Structures are given as C-alpha cells and as structure tokens.
Structure 1
Amino acid sequence: MIKTDSGSRRFRLPAVGPLFGACALLLGGCAIDGPRPAPSASIPAQWHTPLPAGGTTAALPHGGSLTGLSQWWQQQNDPLLVELIMAGESVSPTVSTARSNIEQARASRVASGAAMVPKLDAVGSASRGRGAPMNRTTPPITTTLEAGLQTSWEIDLFGQYAATRDADQQRFEGSQAMWHSARVSVAAEIATQYYSFRACEKLLDVARADAASRAETARLADLSTKAGFQAPATAALARASAAEGHGNAIQQRALCDLDIKALVALTAIDEAALRQKLADTPADLTRESPAPVISVPAEVLAQRPDIFNAAREVDAAHLEVGSAQAQRFPKLSLSGSVFTARSRTSASTQRFDTWTVGPLQLTVPLFDGGASAANVDAARARYEDSAAQYRASVRKAVREVEEALVNLQSTAERNEDALVAAQGYRASFTGTEARYKSGLASLVELEDARRTLLSAQSAVVTLQRDRRNAWVALYRALGGGWSTAEPPVPAPASASEVPGPTTPVATTAP
C-alpha cells in the first residue's frame, strides 16, 4: 500500500489495470475448466441405452419452429383446425408457464456464469467531524471525501463454478424443449376436442334422422290404431319409441354444445364466432390426410421434448456432482482496490491516493462437520434419481408410441367391417320397414332393426373419431410429428459409447 502523507506532495498511481490482468492470467492458468466428479459419479452406460450413441443431441420437434408445428397440422387439410391450434397456443397457461421457465433458466445461467468473472464495485463515502484534541489545542473541523474501486475474484481452480454454469446451461436447453412440449400438448388437446365435436355432429345427424324415422312410425301407428287395424298398445309403443329417439337427439345436441364450450375455453374465441366458423367449414372424418406410418424406429423417440429434457437433467445432475466435489478442495481468491481520498480543513487540504493488489488468499478446508461430504452424497443421489427418471421417460415413450400404433392398426382393420355392418343393417331396416308398412312385420321387429342400425351407424362414426385420435396420440407420442423418410443411419459408436437398439418399436400399415 502506498499513500501520500501531505497535501503538498502528490504521488502518481501506476497503471494497475495491466497489473490486475497479469495476475488474473497467471492465476487463471492454474484453473481447471470443468468438474472433477468422483469416480463413482461417472455416467453409467445404461442410462442412455434406449437411444443410439449421441441420441441426446437430436433436434427438437419441428426443428423448434412454430412454423413447422403449424405446417404439420396443415397436412390435415383443415384450415380451421390450424387456426384453432394457433389461437389456443397464444392463450394457453401451460405455454405461458413454459415460456416463464425458459426466462428463469436463462437468468440462472447468466448468474452462474457471472460467478466465474471478477467483481468490480464502486465505493464512495463522505464524513465531517473533529478529532480528539492534541496539546490542549482544539483541532479544526475536517471534511473527508473518499471514492474508489474494489475488485475481487475467486479463481475457479477445480471447476466448481464452471460445473454450475454448465449445469444451468443444460437446464436452460431442457426448458426450451419443454416449451415445445407444451405447444405439442396444446395442439394435441385442441385437435382431440375438435375431432370429438366433428364426430358429435355426425352422431347428432344420425340421432336426428333416427328420431324423425321414429316419429313417422308413431304417426302411422296412431293412424292405423284409429282406423282399427292395430291395437292401442302398438301405438303406445310407437309413441314411446318416438319420445326415446327425440330424447336421444336432445342429449346428443347437449354433448355437442359441451364440446363447443370446451373449444371456447381452449382457444378463447367468442362462442358465436366459433359456432359460425364450425358451421362454415364442415370436416370429413373419413378422409385420410396423414401420410402412412410404416415403422417408427427407436431413434425417433429422441425428438420427444420430455426425453430431451430428461437427458439434459441427467447431464446437469452429473455436473453438479463435480461441483459439489470441487467444494471440498482449496479455494484461491484475489482482491484489489484503487481509492482516492481528500481531507479538507480550514487551514489545509490533503489528498491520499492508494491502490492495493491482494491479498492473494488460499483457503484450505480442514473440518466442516461432514457438510461437504454430505453435499456430494446428496448430489450423487440426485444424479441417480435423474438417471432413473430418464430411463422411465424412455419406457413411457415407447409404450405411448406402441399404444398409438396398435390403435391405428386396430381402427384400420375394423373400418371395413364397420362399414359393411352399417350397410347390412341399413338394408335390413329398410326391408323390415317395408314389411311393417305392408302389415307383414310387427312394430317390435321394426324397433329391433332400428336399434341395431342406430348402433351400427354410431359405431362407424365413433371408429372414425378413434382413428383421428390415434393419429393425434401418435403425434404427441413422437414429440410433435414424424417423417415418413427413412431415418439416417447413426455413425459407428466408439468403444466408450453404448449404442441403443435400432430396431423399429412397432409397425403399422393403416
């Protein structure tokens, strides 16, 4: 420390910036970039076996592009569906929460990175007072002004802060993936609700046609009873059937209204405007717009945002083990300051300029009651848990894909049978109705044929809805879409890498 001792003598400060920089470079050369986890904390090979080597770096769904998401839904040839999905995404609290998580993760990453660089603070102070008397002489009132800069830097010798920074980077990337997951979930939920309404419309048409048919049968039965050709009990049965059909139509209309209410809640579109849009753009559930999925290789699961995020969490937990381990090693810190002070009395003015480099302080932990060792054990436990969660996510993804493919296969195989059944029961009802009008069949026979036809027609519409829902489920299970092109063959893995299975999860031919 160098200081002047008189206001009449002035000492020029040296260029302390280059001096600080030289010390930083010399000490920084001792730093190790990256954590040094304990050997038992190394990543076990089995945590990534469900995916091929390097699979955790797969691209996000649709390349992380909002345009890609809408373009996939445009393949359904239903512009209204795309509009509803875009509207729902803009008001979804799930998407908003995911976006907030991204900002929080970004802030954490910046904060952890800032711990690795020197800190610089500006300090200023002012005081006025009178000192203790000396030689029975009253000292003058002194005004002291002081200003300067203080800096401190803890050198990351063993990678503690670098590991924390890298862990936060991993979580930041994972939060971005979960934002895409939120978008995919919103799109799938709206699409499912939309197809439910479209199926409800068709079921309502079936119910109304059935109610009209029953009402006409009741009218004819009433006329026939009044003419004395049928017993009053027959007319009563016909009226009861007509009332049942009318009630079924009312119930189906209520279900359609509930679907519209759900779409309004999901998209925040005015109900009157939404009803008009739905009425102006009818949809055909029988048209197959998605491209056929022949197989789904296991590698495709790497694009699922939840698996991507789980892999990032494993990496982050592994880095935190290294950070906790580094806390048990010595710490090296450097500080410095540059100050200028001015002391003024009624008789004189003095200036004091000071600068300091140091101390260069080495702290060696000796005893902390086992706290640092406990922190390492806790970090290892979190790592093992995140690895287990990753494996569970992969198993869940495989199950969801296989279930969607099974449903697609099942609906494809049942479609022809359902159509044939509906056509056959329609022909049977038509014949029975003609026989009833000719007096050759009873009303009980007619009603039995009508119920069978209604069930067959409802089954066709329900099957169409289930098939659309299976497509949506596969879309969600694959993380937001897929490509019919053959996936690229992964590069040969090194001896230290354990490749995952490359066989298809399941196959289907819709």
Structure 2
Amino acid sequence: MRHKPRWALGWSLLPLLSACGGGGLLATVGPDYQAEPLPAVAGWHEPQPGPVVQSAHGGAAGDLIRWWEGFNDPTLTRLLDAAERQSASLAEAKARIEQARANLAGADAALLPNLDASLAGKRSSASFGGEPFVWNQYNAGLQSSWEIDLFGGLARQQQAALGQLAAKSAAWQDARVTVAAETANAYLAYRYCLSQVQILQADRASRSESAQLIAIAGESGLRPAGNVALARAGAAEARSNVLQQQAQCERGVKGLAALTALDETELRGLLGANAEQAAKLPEPPAFRIDAIPAGVLLQRPDIAAAERDVAEASANIGVQRAKQFPKLSLSGNITPTLQNINGAALMLAQTWAIGPTLSLPLFDAGKRAADVAVAEQQYLAAASRFRDKARTAVKEVEEALVRLNSAGLRLPEGRAAVDSYRANYRSLEALNQNGLSSLLDVETARRNLLSAELALKTLEQERVSAWIALYRAVGGGWTANAEAAAQSDVNASPDSLPIQQISFNGGKS
C-alpha cells in the first residue's frame, strides 16, 4: 500500500481548518456587536400635513422612490436624471464602494490559504580546476502559506470590511437623495423666478398704460405736472424691476447648467418647452408619515451608514486585540526540478517542505495595548456620531413639518390679502379716473397689491420647498432592499450593493 507524503496529509486538513472562518479556531476576541436602539421619541410633535388626496408614502420608503414622478413634469425628470449622471459626489461615493469591495475581497482572502506558482530555467558553467561542465536546471515551484485564525482577528477583519462596504453603499444612496433634492430646489427656484417675472410684467404693463393716459391728460391740462412725473417714475421703476428679475432667472439657468452638465442651448430648449407651465410652480404629491420616528429613521441612508460605521468600529476592536495573542501560520512548498550536466539525460529531483510557525508577542512597549485603546475610542466616537445623526434626522423631519404647517396656515390668509388689495386698487383706480382720488393713492394701492402678490407666490414656493425638505428628511425613497432598489432604478444602482446587510434589529453584525 502506497502512503501519501506527510505534506499531502497536512494540506488535506486545510478544508477542515478553513471551516472555522466564522470565528477564531480557539476563541474570538473583541466585543460581539449589538446594534443599539435608535434614539428616537415615540411620536412626532408636529401635526401631519392636512388631508391627502393621493398618498405617496404609507410609512414605507419604497413608496417614495417614485415620488418625483408625481410632479408630472418631464422637464424635472430629465434634469434629475442628468444631474445624477454628472454628479461628482455620486462618482466619488461609487469609487468608495469599489474600494470597500476590494477591502472585503482582501479580508475574505486572508481567511484562506494563498497559493503561488513559479517557473524557472537556468544554464550555468562551472570548473573545479579541470574541464568546465555545463549545468542545465528547469524547475516548477508551488508555494502556499496560511495564517490559522486562532483568536478571530481575521474574522473580525472580515466583519469590519462588511460593515464598511454596507456603509459606503448606503452613503451612495444618500448622495443620490441629496443630488435629487438639490436639483429639484434649483428647478423650483427657476420656476419661482419666472412666476415673479410674470407678476412684475403685468405690473409694468399696467403702470405703462396708466403713465400714457396721465401724460395725455397732462398735455390737455387735466392733470398736474407732478402727477405726470409720478406716473412716469412708476413706469420706469416697473421696467427696472422686470429687468432685475429676468437677470435673476438667467442666473438660475446658469446654475442648472452647471448642476446637470447639459448644454445651455439644450437646457434652454428644455426649460422653454412649455412656457406657460414653466411660470407655474410645480405641485408635489402629498404624503403622510404614518410610521413612528424610529421607523422613519430606518429609511434614511445616512443613518444606516452611520450604524454600519459603528459595527465596523466594533469589529476593529477585535482586530487589534487579536494582535496581542499568538499567531499560527502554516507554509509549504513543492519544487520538482529537471537537470542535466553536459547534455546528459535529464534527471528529476523533487523537494518539498511543510511546517507551522508560531509567533508569540512578548514585548512591544505597550504598542498593541495602545492600539486597542484607540480602537475602543473610535468605537465610542462612531456610536456618538450615530446618535447625533439620529437626533439631527428627527429635527429635520420636525422642521420640515413646521414649514409645511406654517405655509398651509398662511396661504389662505395670503390669498385673502391679495383679493382685498386688488379690490382696493381697482376701487381707487376707478375713482381716480373720475377725478375723485389722487394718483398717489392709486400708486400706493398698486404697490400694496404687487407686494401681496409677490408674498403669496413666495408662500407657494415655500410650501413646495417644504415638501422637498420633508422628502429628504424621511430618507428620500431609499430602501434597504437592494433588489427593490435595482428594480426601481436599474441603471443607477451599482451592481450587487449589499444594502440588505444593514440591520437595526439588535442582532450580531
């Protein structure tokens, strides 16, 4: 019976030992991570928005993914797509995901043996006082080494890499939400600007017409020169206001061009495709936050990223502690060599070696202990950042609800003010035409009406902006289910993002 070489028997044990990759062979040092509860209150302090015609958010983040479609604005959809494709922050976030994937691949590889092969040929000549001889050598080598994870340092390293990858993936989702909100706000500002231009143009036309009529009356001696000058001043002021506002809108176009990287000619064509709609503020689909604060926070990718940072920091404590314990490595090689001298027949020489190496940390002047202390402080800092982000998230939701409720309460008052100022202006204008009121009273009423109309438009813009802020505050449609995210946006999502590994259920990392 032919026996296997002892080195072959040693290598046959590798699959058995590698099965211990879930933890250390002898022990797994370091804390087992437990996700702490989200520091959120039991309910929202601010009341929910008013009656909702069509609910776009039933407490689940996936329902908000298609929220932008509810605007029914193809221009906005096109701008959002262009901004996401050109965003530098998204590109950087995706690069960090790839780096995290590489780190995870390295951590996985550290748990398994590495294997290298080599081929070499050598021709040499030697002489020992006599005729020289030629020596030819041809060898093929196979070398392998493997660190046995005795105390779980490599397993903790793998856990840290998993946490890092999940955090970077969630950060990419957060960057997407941020880019969408920034683009929508820029587009809203542009349309708000155009609506102001419309109001100012109507005011300019009214003042110009009044100035012409008063000038004719002045030439006939029916109006004093002071009234004629006042009317001309009002018309000039109205023209100046329009030009100033138009310049503001031009700046908005430049900002959108920079944000989306669209050619300005193409962008202007896109923005002017429906001039009547462009001057109207978009109407966002309303939604309610039916979930408790802790449930809403689960929808925020920045909170998920912060929690995974805590898990990574916890695993790093185990990585550093494992360095304080012995380390066992197993290495081996096989090197068959063909050789001959002076052209004789080739002869085969085979060598092999296998053996363990045990490293014992004896004295390092406290460096390893200091590294553990640093890792523990980094964990505490990461946990503090997580809690801070959770508190900030609650604050942002509450602030958005305050803005929504305030705008909702003020809008009816603003509309009533516009109606009253318009009635007052028309009454004074009619009296002035009959010589029963002064032009100064008419111009004062006109200014009051203009201010009320602009204030009402500002309130409407604030309401839309508050909806966008609430969308951003509740997570912006991010979902912890990578498969659902891929189905909703196949082109934008990096392949196989491990978002599904993010958990707040208090289980082990």
Q: TM-score, normalised by structure 1?
A: 0.83
C-alpha separation in 2, matches of 1:99 and 1:385: 25
Q: Is the 8 A contact 1:91 1:267 kept in 2?
A: yes
C-alpha separation in 2, matches of 1:111 and 1:478: 35
Match of 2:185 among 161, 171, 192: 192
Q: Is the 8 A contact 2:141 2:333 kept in 1?
A: yes
Deviation at 1:497, TM superposition (A): 5.9
Q: Is the 8 A contact 1:61 1:180 kept in 2?
A: no
Structure 1 counterpart of 2:379, which letter?
Y
1:339 is matched with 335
Q: Summarize the Cα distance change of 1:197–1:286 in structure 2 as closer, same or farther, 3 Å threshold.
A: closer
Deviation at 1:479, TM superposition (A): 1.1
Q: Is the 8 A contact 1:155 1:332 kept in 2?
A: yes
Are positions 1:393 and 2:389 aligned together? Answer: yes
2:40 is matched with 50
Are positions 1:33 and 2:29 aligned together? Answer: no
Matches for 1:133-282 after TM superposition, within 5 Å: 133=128, 136-281=129-274, 282=277
2:460 is matched with 464
Structure 2 counterpart of 1:351, which letter?
L
Q: Is the 8 A contact 1:32 1:158 kept in 2?
A: no
Structure 1 counterpart of 2:14, which letter?
A
Aligned length: 459
1:104 is matched with 99
1:21 is matched with 11
Q: Is the 8 A contact 1:336 1:355 kept in 2?
A: yes
1:116 is matched with 111
Matches for 1:411-450 after TM superposition, within 5 Å: 411-450=407-446
Q: Secondary structure at the match of 2:272?
A: helix
Structure 2 runs not aligned, ≥5 long: 43-58, 480-504
Q: Summarize the Cα distance change of 1:474–1:362 in structure 2 as closer, same or farther, 3 Å threshold.
A: same
- Structural RMSD (CA): 2.8
C-alpha separation in 2, matches of 1:29 and 1:433: 91
C-alpha separation in 1, matches of 2:335 and 2:477: 62
2:399 is matched with 403
Deviation at 1:376, TM superposition (A): 0.7
Deviation at 1:250, TM superposition (A): 0.6
1:429-480 per-residue CA deviation (whole Å, 9 max, x = no partner) reads: 1111111111111121111111110110001111111111000001111111
Deviation at 1:340, TM superposition (A): 0.9
C-alpha separation in 2, matches of 1:217 and 1:429: 13
C-alpha separation in 2, matches of 1:434 and 1:185: 52
1:51-103 per-residue CA deviation (whole Å, 9 max, x = no partner) reads: 99xxxxxxx9955xxxx776221112223212221121111111111111111
Q: Summarize the Cα distance change of 1:173–1:61 in structure 2 as closer, same or farther, 3 Å threshold.
A: farther
Q: Summarize the Cα distance change of 1:482–1:440 in structure 2 as closer, same or farther, 3 Å threshold.
A: farther
Kindly, what percent of the aligned residue pairs are identical? Answer: 39
Structure 2 counterpart of 1:423, which letter?
D
Q: Summarize the Cα distance change of 1:37–1:342 in structure 2 as closer, same or farther, 3 Å threshold.
A: closer
Q: Summarize the Cα distance change of 1:311–1:233 in structure 2 as closer, same or farther, 3 Å threshold.
A: same
Q: Summarize the Cα distance change of 1:197–1:247 in structure 2 as closer, same or farther, 3 Å threshold.
A: same
Q: Is the 8 A contact 1:207 1:245 kept in 2?
A: yes
Match of 2:77 among 82, 105, 110: 82
2:347 is matched with 350
Match of 1:285 among 281, 284, 288: 281
Q: Is the 8 A contact 2:61 2:477 kept in 1?
A: yes
C-alpha separation in 1, matches of 2:127 and 2:325: 48
Q: Summarize the Cα distance change of 1:242–1:22 in structure 2 as closer, same or farther, 3 Å threshold.
A: same
Q: Secondary structure at the match of 2:66?
A: helix
Q: Secondary structure at the match of 2:262?
A: coil
Deviation at 1:296, TM superposition (A): 5.5
Q: Is the 8 A contact 1:30 1:157 kept in 2?
A: no
